[in-house]
Amino acid sequence: MKRGPQRSVDQKAVLDAALELIDAGGLTMRALATRVGLTPGALYTYFPDRAAIVTALTDRLLGEADLGLLEDEGRPPGERIAAFALNLREVLMRHPAAVPSILGAAFSGPVALRVGESLLAALPDPRAAYTVMVYVLGSIALEAAEIRGPGPVPPEAERIAARRVAFDIEPEAFPRTYAAADAIAAYISTGQFRWGLERVLAGLAAGK
C-alpha cells in the first residue's frame, strides 16, 4: 500500500501558529506555512484551505470555554446558558481579531456540534436557541470590533473610560443621547452583556 505524505509538524502547532497570525492581523496560507516551517503545498496535507483552518480554530476556541456550565442539569436552563455565554465571551475576547473569522466559519466541528446539542437540551425550540446564539455572538462581535488590533486587550474599565472620553456630541442637538452617555459607554461591559442576555432568556421563557 502506498503511504500518504508524512507530516512533520503537529496539527496543534499549525493551529497555534494560525491563531497567532490572526491575533497579529493576518492569516494566509503562505504566511502560515512559513511560520510552521512548511512549504505551502505541504500545508495542504493538514488543511485543504483557509476556511478549514478557521473552522478548526472555531472548534478549538469553543473547546476552551467550559461546556460543563451548559450541561449542568442541576441548574435551571437559563442559568446554564448565561454561565456558559459569559465564559465563552471571556474566551473569545482574548482573541478579538479572530472573532470576525469565527462568525463566518462553519460550525460543523465536533465541539461546535456538542455546543449546539447542549444548547438545544436547555432550549428545545431551535428558534429560541438560534436567538440566544445571535445575541451572544453578535454582542461579542461588536465588542471585539473596537479592540481587535494587535496587542493585549485593555481591561474593561479602561475601555469604558476611553469610550466615554471619546463620546463628544452636542447636548442641545441630541439631549437624550447625551444624557445616556454613561450607559452607552458601557455597552461593551460584562454588565451590559449579562443584562441583555437575561432579558432575552426571560422573554423566550415567557413566550413559551
pLDDT tens-digit map of 158-201? 999 999 999 889 999 999 999 999 999 999 999 999 999 999 99
Amino acid 175: pLDDT? 96
Q: Residue 56 and residue 109: Cα distance in Å, rounded? A: 7
Q: In the predicted model, what is the mean pLDDT of the chain?
A: 90
Domain spanning 49-206, CATH class: mainly alpha
Show the DSSP H helices in the chain as ranges. 11-24, 29-36, 40-43, 50-64, 67-71, 77-92, 99-103, 110-122, 126-145, 156-166, 175-179, 181-185, 190-206
Does residue 208 surpass a pLDDT of 80? no
Which one of 32-46, 67-81, 91-105 scores highest in mean pLDDT?
A: 67-81
- Full-model pTM: 0.88
User: What are the two backbone dihedrals, phi and then psi, of residue 193, each rounded to the nearest 5 degrees?
Assistant: -60, -45
**What would the mean pLDDT of 118-145 be, rounded to a whole number?**
95
**What would the mean pLDDT of 86-110 be, rounded to a whole number?**
90
